[in-house]
Amino acid sequence: MQAFQFSKATTVDAAIGEGAPTGVKFVAGGTTLVDLMKLNVERPTTVIDINSLPLDKIEPTSEGGLKIGAMVRNSDLAHDPAVQQHYTVLSQALLSGASPQLRNMATTGGNLLQRTRCYYFRDTAYPCNKRKPGSGCSAIDGFHRIHAILGTSEHCIATNPSDMAVAMMALEATVHIKGAKGDRAVPLSEFYLVPGSTPERENVLAPGELITHVTLPKLPESARSYYLKRRDRASYEFALASAAVVATTQGNRLRHLRVALGGVGTKPWRSMEAEHALTGREATEKNFHAAAEAALRGAKPLHDNAFKVELAKRTLVRALKVVTQPA
Amino acid sequence: MSDKRVPCPPNFPEMSEDKQESGIKTPPGVTRRSFLGRLGAAGIAATAAPLLAPADAQTSPAHETETGPLGAVPVTLKINGQEHSLQLEPRVTLLDALRENLQLPGTKKGCDHGQCGACTVHVNGRRVNSCLTFAIMHQGDEITTIEGLAKNGELHPVQAAFLEHDGFQCGYCTSGQIMSAAALLKEPCGQDDDSVRECMSGNICRCGAYTNIVAAVQSARRAA
């Protein structure tokens, strides 16, 4: 691991002030950053410890939603009574990811920024446009079973690995960011960038900007939500395909419906196509299949990951069935 | 079960490593670990010095300082109730500080990437992977390792349960399994075996001693 200078920020303003220069990285849980520093994929010259920042609260908002501090640990968020009761999909997504030890470390802000598990990104022996812009993509012509089928480009097919962010996408979360130029609130749907020709840019954060908290809007009273994750083993594994669904039904018709897919996109993948196909329609298996077809219509599978198209459709259909089951 | 007192065996949990009968005679006052370490270094120096010299030169501290004004800084860690003042580079992980600087090798290095759980310790009562965090980030924290789990000469109930249920084979993952299970006793986790498997999924056992590990964890939970 490359040596670095270390400092500890005790206020958000101090962190922002010190965090802007090139080569500076914030460390929170460390579960992504330290891992990638050992692989020489991340080579910061300065690391700023932000674990003392007062951003570790989960609080109700005045609009009836929830405010989640960026330093709230994944395990605390998953087991929070308000999250379990009103945002079930978020608790389920968090508990389906990583291990108890990692969830005790990983933070809300850090989880939003976790890097891809693409083998070629993680191995500096290979070209990778995300790690070294312009060097080429080793995955497209390589082994790409775990790679994305939605939002890909000729430059990058790396999958976003987060479960939490998929649930937050279906919950229409907003990311609150503080920087030298002030505060801004970015809808999570606009926070992530698809790779295009600049796969090294994964989100809209500018250097020195810090995620301070995430807000979730209040859901309709009768809303139900569910997260379903499919993977190679039953636990402690990244998704091959997952679906986060938030739904309200009236009679047998779907009213409020939000759908996001994980494990298949270059970013946590909100599927407006599936929502449009189903909203106002009856909760029937036939309609669920039509929505799943719509969600995957734009998929661009390659040789090894073609199975994900069908897997994602079945995952979404199953999630829609569960969430619309009569109580 | 709950009031059953189990005395610490001598050198537990390090018995499998330093004091096991291995057929190697160590000089008085020298542990098997330190003896083998010196033997290994001498052996490598004698046989592979020409091969290793170039690689060694590339990674020497002198070379690294070319990238910046870097070096060891004072770090104070509280491990098993005792404060230790160390000089550590910021890049030293908590795991490496325990093993290399504090001579607490009960915490194991498996994958070194947060995937196996062998390095599990408690920080302020919560289980974490000590390989994925820098020691310097834990000044002021209460750190507990496997060496600090037994109290007043008595095994922690999870340690006793692992002995009783034979919850290991080679033993390399065991300290991480035990630290994980000890934290699990205070966490939300369903009562059934499947819940234990899920809650222990961050600890990999390559021998596959899972059946007895689950039995040990369940036994300790019932006793707690």
Check if CATH label 3.10.20.30 holds for domain B72-148. Answer: yes
Residue A321 phi/psi, 5-degree rounding, is: -60, -45
State the complex-level ipTM.
0.97
Q: In chain A, where does DSSP find H-type helix?
A: 12-19, 33-38, 74-78, 81-86, 88-95, 100-105, 108-112, 164-170, 188-191, 272-278, 285-296, 307-324
Closest residue to B70, CB basis, from A3, A31, A234: A3
Third-level CATH fold of A1-327: 3.30.465
Closest CA relative to residue B143, chosen from B77, B203, B93: B77
Residue B117 Cα, gap to closest chain A Cα (Å): 8
Number of CB atoms found within 10 A of residue A91's CB: 23
What radius of gyration do chain A's Cα atoms show?
19
What tokens appear for A225 in the block?
């939500």
A53 touches A12 (CB < 8 A) = yes
Q: Which residue has the tokens 């200078």?
A: A5
Domain ranges (residues) in chain A: 1-327
Q: Can you give the pLDDT of all 224 residues of chain B as single tens digits?
A: 444 555 555 444 444 444 444 455 555 666 666 655 555 555 444 444 444 444 444 444 444 344 333 599 999 999 999 999 999 999 999 999 999 999 999 999 999 999 999 999 999 999 999 999 999 999 999 999 999 999 999 999 999 999 999 999 999 999 999 999 999 999 999 999 999 999 999 999 999 999 999 999 999 999 98
Buried b (16+ CB within 10 A) or exposed e, B123-156: beebbbbbbbbbbbbbeebebbbbbbbbeeeebb
- Residue B37 zone, left/alpha/beta (φ > 0; ψ -120 to 50; rest): alpha
Rounded Cα–Cα distance for residues B129 and B122 (Å): 9
Q: Do B129 and A98 touch (CB under 8 A)?
A: no
CA distances from A137 to A142, A193, A267, A287, B179 (A): 9, 18, 17, 38, 41
Give the pTM. 0.90
Distance of CA B176 to the CA centre of its chain: 6
Closest CA relative to residue A93, chosen from A40, A39, A162, A43: A162
Task: Please report residues of A whose CB lies closer than 8 A to that of B202.
Answer: 98-102, 236
Q: Do A47 and B133 touch (CB under 8 A)?
A: no
Closest residue to A34, CB basis, from B120, B133, B187: B133
Q: Would you report the helix, strand and coil content of chain B in percent, each value rounded to 5?
A: 40, 15, 45
Domain ranges (residues) in chain B: 27-70, 72-148, 151-224
Summarised one tens digit per residue, pLDDT across range A283-320 is 999 999 999 999 999 999 999 999 999 999 999 999 99
What tokens appear for B170 in the block?
């080679």
Q: Do B132 and A30 touch (CB under 8 A)?
A: yes
Check if CATH label 3.90.1150.10 holds for domain B151-224. Answer: no
Task: Please report residues of B whose CB lies closer than 8 A to that of A31.
Answer: 114, 129, 132
Summarised one tens digit per residue, pLDDT across range B144-202 is 999 999 999 999 999 999 999 999 999 999 999 999 999 999 999 999 999 999 999 99
